[in-house]
Structure 1
Amino acid sequence: MPRLIPTETKVIKVHPGTLGYQIQQLVVEKHCFKAPQQPAQQKLALLFSHSNGFNKETLHPLIRRLVAGIREQVRYQHTDLCVYAWDARTHGDSARLNEGTFSETYNWFDHALDTQQVIRSLDLHTGYDGVFGIGHSFGATAMLLLEYMFPQTFTGICAIEPVLSSDILDTELRAQLPILASLKRRDTWPDRESCYKSLVHRDFWKIFDPEVMQLYVDYGLYETPDGTVKLKTPKEEEYHVFNVSSYATLTAYNSIRALRTPVQFVFASSSVYVTIDPLELPNFNREFANVNMVEGTHMVPNENPQLMVPEILALMDRALSVKKRIDSKL
């Protein structure tokens, strides 16, 4: 199926507390879905944040399935939904706007603050009865960091395969990590069909949902002046994000103890990106942290978007119940 056509597209500045704030921008798309039964009795915002190296359109199959899953639930028949999906400043359409302005200072804390900037710029806290973060990998870690720095930013978070670490490896050891091979990846092809054919049979890509794969090729590339197609997300920036991850992933790991909003952690059984024991995370925070294991690799939302739907629904139900209990005491 094609990409979701946004209700509205906005270009906003990156967070004013970060370097680059004078010139760098973010592309944010809004998708609104009216409640099946009107008038609506509540309005919820769902904010999606992609993984490193990917783009907002690759989340569309998950968004489409999630909205359909929510619509099947009697309890959400009177609920308006607005979904927000955006490209990190060095990724996708944001990267195209920011070409020539990338900085080596950019890090995962900046991405967390950019997440806050999206929420503030679109006034999500005053316009909705709940704000849910749904992040994958880089995006999930940034949401945990944001919630740690600014508690109660989210009504709830579904953190899919967040990158977490319990220590900081020596620099020489980090340089040997397989994820840093992204600097060597191919980033230019004669056309989109050539790109698709070069990727689709490789081990990493061949298990992707066909819709996700097609959306990556259709919207993760741009046409260059010489007639070729190239990744919107520069491979140098994908590498950079991996290379500056260590402080943030350790902070996010230890921040779990301080969380005061429900978080549903989702980890994949065949992931090679997880260096901690996911099943230990609830011991850090019995009240707010839940963990579930699913079949798949680190890229599980790209492989099987439908598998994420019950996880997000469970998070929404739990978080809204907590919010109702808190609100009743005020």
Structure 2
Amino acid sequence: MTPAQTDRSTLLFAHANGFPGVCYRSFLAPLGERFVLHPLDRLGHHPDFPVGHNWLALRDELLHALEDLDTPVIGVGHSMGGVLMAMAAEAAPAHFRCVVMLDPPLMLGMDAWGMKVAKQLGLADRVTPAGKSLGRRTTWPDRQAMRHYLRRRGLFRRFTEQAMDDYVEGGTRLLDDGQAVLVYDPDIEVEIFRHLPDHLGDLPRRLRVPHAVLAGEDSDLLTPRRCRRLRRHGVPVHPVPGTHMFPMEHPDEARQGLLAVLDELLGETA
């Protein structure tokens, strides 16, 4: 794939739950040399697409965003965003050239069955990050205090300095007194976790566009067992350095891995 072939290709990016699209600046910005970038802002916050059963409304919100773009697009998504991108590609394959999921919570086999049972028994808060997100802190005296606080949290500990700045600045708004407040509604974040899809057990077989997964080598979500399950379902899985949050921890390596996968997938459709 040469730069000339991709000059006009549109790359639509969907973020993870709790992380507005602007937070991926250090990972995405260099891709602007080869693609027209369209990072989505805050899925789940549009009143016409409230969070609900199995993320179906969130999928429709993503499809709605395609209406203003020249399609087909290259669909890339992190975590929640990767699953939604695959769901959208299944619903409207003509709008996608390919899909790459970055460490997606794609529940296959027994994982899908277990998620369905957990939700029926009211245990979603225990088996998803919903329980940890309940009552999370949303306000800090200023952005520097927020940055200092987050550096001690496990999820953010490995972020690069630039990625941390992107999250602190892009993920907050400042009040008149200088306080920093999250722009991603924590109640929506919890509801998204609670409605993690349990109906995608055979999604890889239903997808009619080239697709692949990038998995963090130290991810606590895409464990070796889950990676093997994805491969058994025909999903190519490519390891990259980092945890579930690898786009913020190793943005250069993540971007190189993404480009290599896109070369393979788009080569299949050439």
User: What TM-score comes out, normalization by structure 1 length?
Assistant: 0.71
- Residue 10 of structure 2 is matched in structure 1 by 45
CA pair 293-192 structure 1, distance change in 2 beyond 3 A: same
What stretches of structure 1 move > 4 A for 4+ residues in a row?
A: 100-104
Does residue 272 of the first structure (1) align with residue 214 of the second (2)?
no
- Residue 56 of structure 2 is matched in structure 1 by 109
CA pair 104-66 structure 1, distance change in 2 beyond 3 A: closer
CA pair 152-207 structure 1, distance change in 2 beyond 3 A: same
Bigger fraction of residues in strand? 1
Does residue 231 of the first structure (1) align with residue 196 of the second (2)?
no
Does residue 87 of the first structure (1) align with residue 52 of the second (2)?
no
* 1:103-154 per-position Cα deviation (integer Å, ceiling 9, x unaligned): 56476222212211111222x21xxxx5211100010000111112222331
User: What TM-score comes out, normalization by structure 2 length?
Assistant: 0.85
How far the C-alpha of 1:41 sits from its partner, in A, is 8.1
Question: Gaps (5+ residues) in structure 1?
Answer: 1-34, 71-80, 325-330
How far the C-alpha of 1:42 sits from its partner, in A, is 5.2
Please list, as runs of the form range in 1=range in 2, the aligned pairs for 1:171-320 lying within 5 A after superposition: 171-177=121-127, 179-180=129-130, 181-224=132-175, 227-245=178-196, 248=197, 250-274=198-222, 277-285=226-234, 289-320=235-266
Does residue 131 of the first structure (1) align with residue 73 of the second (2)?
yes
* Contact persistence 1:263–1:315 (CA under 8 A): no
Tell me the number of residue pairs that the alignment of Structure 1 and Structure 2 aligns: 259
CA RMSD after TM alignment: 2.6
The DSSP-based 3-state class of the residue aligned with 1:159 is strand
* Contact persistence 1:157–1:262 (CA under 8 A): yes
Of structures 1 and 2, the one scoring higher in RCO (CA 8 A, sep 6+) is: 2
- Residue 63 of structure 1 is matched in structure 2 by 28
* Rg larger for: 1
* Contact persistence 1:157–1:315 (CA under 8 A): no
The one-letter code of the counterpart of 2:41 is D
* Contact persistence 1:262–1:318 (CA under 8 A): no
Q: Distance in 1 between matches of 2:135 and 2:48?
A: 22
